[in-house]
Structure 1
Amino acid sequence: MSEIAPRPVIILCRPQMGENIGAAARAMLNFGLTEMRLVAPRDGWPNPKAVAMASGAAGQVLDRARVFPTLAEAMEGITYAFATTARGRELTKPVFTPATAAARHREEVSQGGRSAFIFGPERAGLENDDIARANAILTVPVNPDFPSLNLAQAVLLTGYELSRGALPDQPMPTNRRPAGEVPADRIEIEKLADHCESRLDAAGYFFPATKAAAMKLNLRNMWSRLALTRADVQMLHGALRQLTRR
């Protein structure tokens, strides 16, 4: 993954449970975000439950986390801050989605600034006094009948959008053919399909007769979809012969 530079700061304002802080750290590291700031965590700091939930590598995020008594102090060095909330619309501020906030973050970075994303306590979220200290509001568009997101989910969604430019365009393929294996050509696939069809026909598989043509077509279509190697084809020919030998 390409590095996001400078990376945005994730500020957890008055977080209540250590487990949620640890889960947020994991979500951050998934997308290369490593700077966490904590504002007045309810159960103090450090918190062993946060470390347990961070599970291994994400512990580095917690090791570097800085604790501040107030949100105002936690925004040291920040030039643009997003308050993540579904509320606070009565305050006159621009409202962003995670995608548009990521674009605004990149704009801020290009101008030499530093951005932060502020997340509120689990039970009630950010208060208006917190939101008033941010430049903008970040709201995740969700099902209005069930708008609730937990802290780690909100951090994860934000981190994904922030790092999209550094992620591969699509997941890496998992079905690559092993080196040295030769793909079966269409004639070999055709002969395997013929062999399978003839053996099934002899066994009375295509019944009733009125459905036989459609069944054969579906089988032929299945064979053509499979990424078979020559070794695969030879093995399947042998299996068909052995199954019908008696």
Structure 2
Amino acid sequence: MSQSAAAIPSPRLFDQVRFVLNETSHPGNVGSAARAIKTMGFGQLVLVAPRAGEAVLRDPEAAALASGADDVLANARIVPDLGAALQGVNWAVALSARSREYGPPNAEPRESAAMAVQHAAQGEAVAFVFGSERTGLSNTDVERCNALVHIPANPVYSSLNLSQAVQLIAYEVRMACLARERGEAPPVAAAVAMASLPSGLDAQTPEALATRDDVEGMLSHLERALVDLDFLDPDNPKKLMTRLRRLFAKSHLEREEVNILRGIAKHILERKRRH
């Protein structure tokens, strides 16, 4: 095998990774992001409610800054909300310029890339979610993800352009793909984080693990049951569901475990209706 061929990771890993831009304001950033991910070998770009609407894919500035990544731009999916963008995704990473009091566990960019490739190697879909240029991601958006990443830029001047952030993360994911293809261990910090994954994860079939959609459905079902039990006050929910999201994000639930939790919620709701 030639040296150049050995440097090309399995296409399956690339096919499992999508980059999600949430409510992007500037068409130029969409084109630049398309170019950024193509240079690293990725092709899945998803746009959540871009300000320019579907016209963003035909915008002259977007096309100019895509600069050879016209195919990625042309094939970008436009969806109405983040839920639709993450449909079918097993593991999602939120990118944020600020820390959050509540939300998913924190990870460094390199850690998150190694963990993403670990999941992709199991046949799972993974996503990196970037917020709008002005406001970033809302707390609700962040809570839909499994990990939160902050790029440790210069604290004196930490302003990263959206496409620059996409480029940095795409590079880290590519390097993690290459490392896996060479049979190298992930970074130490990521290895520690992945030590918390269920025993024998590598031996599990992808079907054994719950998808994000499975977990979202379970959380919605469980929330209704907790409201029926008067354990959760819908008018004053505090942070109960946020904390449960964080708990389950760290648990890497299997599909059977999700089914058990949904079964419990179902029986709570049925028993409450009977009485």
TM band (smaller chain): 0.5 to 0.7
Letter matched to residue 148 of structure 1? S
Matched, 1:15 2:24: yes
In the other structure, the counterpart of 1:60 is 71
Give 3-state SS (helix, strand or coil) of 1:45's partner.
helix
Per the TM alignment, residue 166 of structure 1 is displaced from its structure 2 partner at its CA by 5.4
Larger fraction in helix: 2
Letter matched to residue 32 of structure 2? A
In the other structure, the counterpart of 2:37 is 28
- The RMSD of aligned alpha carbons is 1.7
Per the TM alignment, residue 41 of structure 1 is displaced from its structure 2 partner at its CA by 0.3
In the other structure, the counterpart of 1:193 is none
Per the TM alignment, residue 110 of structure 1 is displaced from its structure 2 partner at its CA by 2.8
Matched, 1:100 2:111: yes
Task: Please identify runs of 4+ aligned residues in structure 1 that moved more than 6 A.
Answer: none
TM score, norm. by length of structure 1 = 0.64
Q: Which runs of 5+ in 1 are unaligned?
A: 169-246
TM score, norm. by length of structure 2 = 0.58
Contact 2:13 2:117 in 1 (8 A): no
Give 3-state SS (helix, strand or coil) of 2:46's partner.
strand
Tell me: CA distance 1:128–1:146, structure 2 relative to 1, closer, same or farther (3 Å): same
* 1: CA distance, partners of 2:87 / 2:119: 16
Per the TM alignment, residue 114 of structure 1 is displaced from its structure 2 partner at its CA by 1.2
Tell me: CA distance 1:126–1:152, structure 2 relative to 1, closer, same or farther (3 Å): same
Contact 1:86 1:140 in 2 (8 A): yes
Per the TM alignment, residue 37 of structure 1 is displaced from its structure 2 partner at its CA by 0.3
User: Identity of counterpart residues, as a percentage?
Assistant: 40
Per the TM alignment, residue 45 of structure 1 is displaced from its structure 2 partner at its CA by 1.6
Letter matched to residue 119 of structure 2? E
Picking from 130, 133, 155, the partner of 2:144 is 133
Per the TM alignment, residue 21 of structure 1 is displaced from its structure 2 partner at its CA by 0.5
Picking from 81, 88, 97, the partner of 1:86 is 97
* 2: CA distance, partners of 1:104 / 1:42: 32
Q: What does the per-residue CA deviation read over 1:137-158, in whole Å, with 9 as the maximum and x for residues that have no partner? A: 0111111122211111100100
Give 3-state SS (helix, strand or coil) of 1:10's partner.
strand
In the other structure, the counterpart of 1:150 is 161
* 1: CA distance, partners of 2:45 / 2:139: 22
* 1: CA distance, partners of 2:66 / 2:97: 26
* 2: CA distance, partners of 1:130 / 1:88: 14
